[in-house]
């Protein structure tokens, strides 16, 4: 898995502080940024967190580049609807020797890992064979329509992989560009940094958390799973490791802040 913060709102914390300043003072729009020193900006952002006023932080957005994650993760990720996604298409990009994600629990058992590897190889073989069969059929049809040989072949391949992709597994790796505003990111971290989240999306969430803290430490001072700043909401389903989780995220935050 590779996660990078490829862009974010310029001066995200100052923008959030300016938005909050508008709510709580008589300042006009032209004067919102006046006097917003780093100290005053931090004070405004911290105040918003303390009083639970979350709407101003929606003005700051963060865009991530994500590689080496599974289509299974993608299905979970897009459940977070307050976000924008661009995903590498299996309809337009041929899966030649597709990369795949190997779950740690399977990797830990040699027999399971070998079975998994064979399954991936079989999926690739089925995909390649289906692509070849469909491409041949579409090529003939395209030529009969009067297309040039070059155009007919190019179109036939795209038509073939559109249907052949159905045999590709959830493990198939994909690439994503994702944008979320800070409020949506807080919600994402509350759900996906939790120990009860599925391992792959939890790993992704933690990598994103570290990047966000590095870019805007005050804005994400209280981000993370719910138990970081309060009690565990999972009830009897709790992992029972709230103290351990708090210490872990405190260490991540302090490391990035320093």
Cβ count near 218 (within 10 Å) = 21
Residue with tokens 């990797």: 107
**Among candidates 126, 4, 127, 21, which has minimal Cα distance to 64?**
4
Distance from C-alpha of 105 to C-alpha of 93, rounded to nearest angstrom: 30
Q: Which of 165, 183, 190, 192 is catalytic?
A: 192
Cβ-proximal residues to 236 (8 Å cutoff; 6+ apart), any chain: none
Q: Is 198 helix (H, G, I), strand (E, B) or coil?
A: coil
Q: Looking at residue 228, what DSSP letter applies?
A: G
Residue 174: strand pairing partners: 69
Instruction: Kindly write down the DSSP assignment for every residue of 27-90, as one continuous string.
Output: --GGGTTTT--HHHHHHHHHHHHHHT--GGGGG-EEEEEEEEEEHHHHHHHTT--SSEEEE--T
Give the torsion through C-alpha atoms of 196, 198, 253, 236, to 10 deg: 0
> Catalytic: 165?
no
- Catalytically active residues are 192
């Amino acid at each position: 898995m590779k996660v990078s913060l490829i862009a974010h709102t310029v001066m995200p914390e100052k923008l959030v502080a300016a938005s909050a300043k508008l709510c709580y003072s008589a300042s006009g729009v032209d004067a919102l940024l006046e006097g917003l020193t780093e100290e005053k900006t931090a004070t405004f952002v911290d105040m918003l967190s303390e009083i639970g006023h979350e709407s101003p932080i929606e003005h700051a957005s963060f865009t991530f580049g994500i590689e080496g994650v599974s289509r299974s993760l993608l299905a979970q990720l897009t459940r977070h609807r307050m976000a924008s996604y661009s995903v590498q298409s299996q309809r337009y990009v041929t899966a030649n020797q597709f990369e795949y994600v190997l779950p740690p629990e399977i990797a830990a058992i040699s027999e399971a890992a070998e079975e998994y590897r064979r399954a991936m190889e079989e999926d690739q073989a089925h995909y390649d064979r289906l692509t070849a069969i469909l491409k041949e059929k579409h090529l003939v049809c395209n030529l009969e329509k009067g297309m040039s040989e070059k155009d007919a072949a190019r179109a036939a391949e795209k038509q073939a992989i559109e249907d052949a992709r159905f045999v590709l597994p959830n493990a198939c790796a994909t690439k994503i560009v994702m944008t979320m505003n800070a409020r949506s990111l807080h919600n994402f971290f509350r759900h996906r940094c939790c120990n009860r989240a599925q391992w792959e999306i939890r790993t992704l969430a933690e990598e994103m958390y570290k990047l966000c803290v590095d870019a805007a430490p005050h804005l994400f001072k209280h981000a993370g799973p719910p138990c970081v700043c309060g009690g565990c909401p999972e009830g009897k389903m709790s992992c029972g490791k709230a103290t351990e989780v708090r210490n872990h995220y405190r260490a991540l935050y302090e490391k990035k802040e320093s």
